[in-house]
Structure 1
C-alpha cells in the first residue's frame, strides 16, 4: 500500500511537470487588452493606490501577487503571468487530491492529466488575470467542504473560510461558488433537523467557516466598499447598451465555451455539449455514493451563476465558469469509467472494463493534446505585433487611427501618437479628410457593429473577418490580419490610399 501511494505521488509529480512545461512554453507571448489594462490601471500603481477604488477589471488578490512578481522579476509578460501559472499548477494538484478523495487514484490521474493538457487550463494559466486563482481557491473550497460535511473539524472549516475569503477577494463572482455550497449546507441542516438527526458540529463548524470567510472578505473590501456598491449597482447599464447582446445569453456562453475548446463551429458544438453533459450525468451517478454533494454543488454553482448574472443584467462570460472545468472533467472521467463498466457487464467482465477504460483514456489524452496545440498558433491578441507592423508601414505624415477599446492599449501602453475612433460619426469625420489613412482594428467583430460604415467600406461579407468575402474594389484595403486565440481576438490593419 505504501509503494502504491508513492507511485501515485510520482504520477502527480510527472503530470505537474508536464503541465508546467506546457504553460512555460508561450508564457512570454504578447499581452492582450485585459492584461494590459490590468497592468496600466492597477498593477503599475503604488501598493497603497491599488486598493483605493473598485473595478470589475481588478482581480485584487491576483494583482497583488502579479505586482510582487514584477518587483522580483521585472515587467516582462512572463513575469506578470507567473502568478496565474502557479495558481493554475496549484489547481491541478488540488484537483488530484479532491479526485483521489472521492473517486480513487486512477480517476485522479486521468482527470489531472486531461486538465494538464486542457486548452482552457493552459490558456488561463498564461493569462495575467485572477481566474486560475479562483479555480484554486474553489477547488480547495470543494475539498474542505466535502471533508468538513463528512467529518466536521475546526481545522477543516477554518481552512474553508480562508479559501472563501481568498476567492471573493480575487473577484466578487467567487462568492457564487461558496453561496451554492452554503445553500446545500442549509438544505442538509434542515433535512437532518426534520429527521431529528442534526448534531451540533454539522451546524456550528460550517457556520464558523462561512463566518470566518465572510468577515475576512468584508474587511478586505472595506476600504473600497462605497466604490464597490456603486459599481455593482450600475453594472447593468453598460450591458443594456452593448451591441454584443449575445454576451448576456447563457446559451451563447455554453456554445462559446465549447467552441473555443474544440476549435469548431456549427452543429458539432451542440453534439459535443450534449455528449459531455450526458457522460457527466453518468459520472454524477457513479460518484453519488462516496460524494453525494459533489455533483450537486457543481451543477448548482453553474445554474446559480448564470441566474444571478442574468438577474443583474451582467454579461455572462464563459470565464465565469472556469472554476467548474475541473469538476466537470472529474464527472466526465467518472462517467466514462461507469460506461465502460456497464458495457463490460454484458460482454466480458472486470478485465474488459479496465481495458476499455484504458483505451478511452488514451484516446481522450490524445484528443486533448491535439486540441491544446492551438494555444501556440497565435498570441491571445497580437497588439504588439500590430503596433510594430503599423509603425514600420506608416509613411511620414500619414494618419493612423486605432478603432475601439484597443486604442487604450496602443496609446496608453505602447505610447502611440494615433487618433481614436469609437463611433460611426468619428469614423466618417476621420475619412472625410483627404490623404492616406491607416486603421488598426482590435476586436473587429464588435467594432464592425459599432462602426457599420467601416464594415461597408471594408467589404465585410463573411464570418471570418480576416478572410471575408469582399468585392474587388473597397475603400479600405486589408494590409495584414494578426490572428489571436482570444474570442474576437484578431487585429486587422486597413489602409486607404
Structure 2
C-alpha cells in the first residue's frame, strides 16, 4: 500500500481534533459508581498498596495511568478520566491505520470519523476505566497480527507481544481477544500444513509473539496472582445468586448494546441489529481478498468471549465487547461501500456509485452525530446531583438513607447516610418516625433486592415511577429523579414525611 500523503494525515488530524473536542466536552461530569470505587479503593492508595491484591474493579494499567494523572492534576473527574480519553483517541488512530491497510484510505477516513462521533466511543472515552486502553491494545495487536501473518518478521511479532501484555494487564478479558487470534493462527498453520505450503516463520515467529506477550502479562500479574486466582474462581458463585439473571443472557447483552446506542427505540432495536449484521457480512465479503483473516478474527472473538463468559457463569456485560466496536465499524463502512457499488452497477455506473457513497457517508455521519448528543443529556449516573439535592432539602432532624450498591458512593461526597441492602434493613430503617429521604441508585436492581421498597413507591401499578402525573404512593413520594446515560443509571430520590 502507498504511504499516507500529507492530505491523508491532515484529514486524520482534523478527525482527531474533532474527537478530542467531543471528549473534552463534559469530561468533568460527576463520577459514577465504578469510577468512584476505582478512585477510592485503588487510585488513592500508595503505589505499593495499590498493587497488593486483585479486584474485578481494578483495571491495573488504567489505574496506574489514572494515579499518575491524579498526582499531576488532582482528583477532578476530568483528571481521573484523562487516561481513558487519551487511549480513546489513540484507538481512533489505530483503527484508521488498520482500516487504511486492509480497506484503503477512503474507508479509513470514514471509519475514523464515525468513531469520533460514536456514542459508545465517546461514552467510554469519558469513563475512568480501562476499556479504551483495552480497545487500543487489541486494535493495534490485530494490526500487528495481520502484518505478521502476511509477512512474518521478528519486530512485528515483538510489537504484537507488547500489545498482548498491555491488553491483558489492562483487563483479564483482554486475553480473550488474543486467544481468538491464536486460534486463527493455528487454523492457518494447519491449513497450510495440509496443503504442504507451511513455512517455518509462520510457526516460529507467531509462537514467539504469543509466548513473549503471555510471559510479560504473567510477570506483571505475579504480585497479585493468589488474589487473582481466588477472585476469578469466586465469579460463578456471585453470579449464581445475582437476582439480575438477564445479565448472563447474551441476547440481553446484544439488545442492551444497541439500546444504549440508539435509546429506548422499542421494535427498532432488532431492526438495527439486523442491519448491522447484514452490513458486517457485506463488509467481510468485500475484504475477503485484501484481509482474509480480519473478519474471522473479529467474529471469533465475539463468539469466544460469549462462550467463555457463559462457561464460567459470569455476567455478560456489553462493555466486554467494546474492543470490537472499531473493528465492526470497519466492516460496516466496507459493507456500505460494497452496497453502493452493487446498487451503482444496477442503476447505471460509476457516477451513481460515487453519489450513493457520498450520500451514505453523510447519512452515517449525521446519524452518528445525532445519537452522540445523548452523551451530554445527563451524567452517567448523577450521584453528585442526588446528594446535593437531598442535603439542600434536609432540615434538622431529617434522615437520609441510601439503597443498594451505589449507596456507599455517597460517602465520597461526604455523606454519613446509612446504606441499606436488604428488605430487613430497609424495614428497620423506616420503622423510626420522622421525615426520611430514600435514595436509590441502580433502581432496577434495588427493586428486586428490596421488594418492600418497590411496594412502598407503588411500583406495581404499571406507571413510570418518575412520571410527575402518576398517583402519589401511600408511603414514599417521588422527590426527584436524576437521569443517567448508564444502563440502569437513574438515581431516584423519595421522601416520607
Q: TM-score range by the shorter chain?
A: over 0.9
1:57 maps to: 57
Deviates more, 1:187-196 or 1:102-111: 187-196
Q: 1:348: how far off?
A: 1.3
Q: 1:408: how far off?
A: 1.3
Q: 1:464: how far off?
A: 4.5
Segments of structure 2 that go 5 or more residues without pairing to the other structure are none
1:448 maps onto 2:447 in alignment:
yes
- Cα gap change, 1:141 to 1:264, in 2 (>3 Å): same
Question: Any residues of structure 2 matched to 1:68-467 within 5 Å, and which?
Answer: 68-411=68-411, 413-460=412-459, 461-462=461-462, 464-467=464-467
Question: What is the CA–CA distance in structure 1 between the aligned matches of 2:468 and 2:483, rounded to whole Å?
Answer: 14
Q: 1:3: how far off?
A: 10
Question: What is the CA–CA distance in structure 2 between the aligned matches of 1:131 and 1:474, rounded to whole Å?
Answer: 44
Give me the TM-score of the superposition, normalised by structure 2. Answer: 0.98
Secondary structure in 1 matching 2:400: strand
Count of matched residue positions in the alignment of Structure 1 and Structure 2: 496
Q: 1:222: how far off?
A: 0.5
Segments of structure 1 that go 5 or more residues without pairing to the other structure are none
- Cα gap change, 1:462 to 1:105, in 2 (>3 Å): farther
Q: 1:229: how far off?
A: 0.6
Secondary structure in 2 matching 1:494: strand
Question: What is the CA–CA distance in structure 2 between the aligned matches of 1:2 and 1:147, rounded to whole Å?
Answer: 15
- The answer as to whether partners of 2:457 and 2:473 remain within 8 angstroms in 1 is no
- The answer as to whether partners of 1:119 and 1:261 remain within 8 angstroms in 2 is yes
- The answer as to whether partners of 1:402 and 1:418 remain within 8 angstroms in 2 is yes
Question: What is the CA–CA distance in structure 2 between the aligned matches of 1:277 and 1:136, rounded to whole Å?
Answer: 23
Question: What is the CA–CA distance in structure 1 between the aligned matches of 2:344 and 2:463, rounded to whole Å?
Answer: 45
Question: What is the CA–CA distance in structure 2 between the aligned matches of 1:467 and 1:427, rounded to whole Å?
Answer: 24
- Cα gap change, 1:472 to 1:39, in 2 (>3 Å): closer
- The answer as to whether partners of 1:283 and 1:333 remain within 8 angstroms in 2 is yes
CA RMSD of aligned residues (A): 1.3
Deviations 1:210-264 (A, max 9, x none): 0110000000001111111111111011111111110000000000000000012
Q: 1:345: how far off?
A: 1.1
Question: What is the CA–CA distance in structure 1 between the aligned matches of 2:169 and 2:418, rounded to whole Å?
Answer: 37
Q: 1:267: how far off?
A: 1.3
Q: 1:462: how far off?
A: 4.2
Secondary structure in 2 matching 1:102: helix
Secondary structure in 2 matching 1:417: coil
Question: What is the CA–CA distance in structure 1 between the aligned matches of 2:291 and 2:3, rounded to whole Å?
Answer: 26
- Cα gap change, 1:325 to 1:8, in 2 (>3 Å): same
Question: What is the CA–CA distance in structure 1 between the aligned matches of 2:311 and 2:463, rounded to whole Å?
Answer: 31
- Cα gap change, 1:172 to 1:342, in 2 (>3 Å): same
Deviations 1:16-47 (A, max 9, x none): 00000000000000000000000000111001
Q: 1:398: how far off?
A: 1.2
- The answer as to whether partners of 2:464 and 2:470 remain within 8 angstroms in 1 is no
Q: 1:467: how far off?
A: 2.6
Deviates more, 1:396-405 or 1:459-468: 459-468
Q: 1:469: how far off?
A: 7.8
Deviations 1:361-403 (A, max 9, x none): 1011001000000000000001111111111111111111000
- The answer as to whether partners of 2:250 and 2:316 remain within 8 angstroms in 1 is yes
- Cα gap change, 1:230 to 1:4, in 2 (>3 Å): closer
Secondary structure in 2 matching 1:438: strand
Q: 1:2: how far off?
A: 8.8
- The answer as to whether partners of 2:457 and 2:465 remain within 8 angstroms in 1 is no
Question: What is the CA–CA distance in structure 2 between the aligned matches of 1:67 and 1:283, rounded to whole Å?
Answer: 40
Secondary structure in 1 matching 2:39: helix
Secondary structure in 2 matching 1:406: helix
Question: What is the CA–CA distance in structure 1 between the aligned matches of 2:48 and 2:413, rounded to whole Å?
Answer: 25
Question: What is the CA–CA distance in structure 2 between the aligned matches of 1:2 and 1:87, rounded to whole Å?
Answer: 27
- Cα gap change, 1:495 to 1:176, in 2 (>3 Å): same
Q: 1:407: how far off?
A: 1.7
Deviations 1:329-353 (A, max 9, x none): 1100000000111111111112211
- The answer as to whether partners of 1:462 and 1:469 remain within 8 angstroms in 2 is no
- The answer as to whether partners of 1:19 and 1:89 remain within 8 angstroms in 2 is yes
Deviates more, 1:280-289 or 1:339-348: 339-348
Question: What is the CA–CA distance in structure 1 between the aligned matches of 2:151 and 2:105, rounded to whole Å?
Answer: 21
Deviations 1:149-170 (A, max 9, x none): 0011100000000000000000
- Cα gap change, 1:30 to 1:463, in 2 (>3 Å): farther
Q: 1:111: how far off?
A: 0.7
1:482 maps to: 482
Question: What is the CA–CA distance in structure 1 between the aligned matches of 2:472 and 2:261, rounded to whole Å?
Answer: 35
- The answer as to whether partners of 1:477 and 1:496 remain within 8 angstroms in 2 is yes
Deviates more, 1:346-355 or 1:212-221: 346-355
Question: What is the CA–CA distance in structure 2 between the aligned matches of 1:81 and 1:3, rounded to whole Å?
Answer: 34
- Cα gap change, 1:294 to 1:2, in 2 (>3 Å): closer
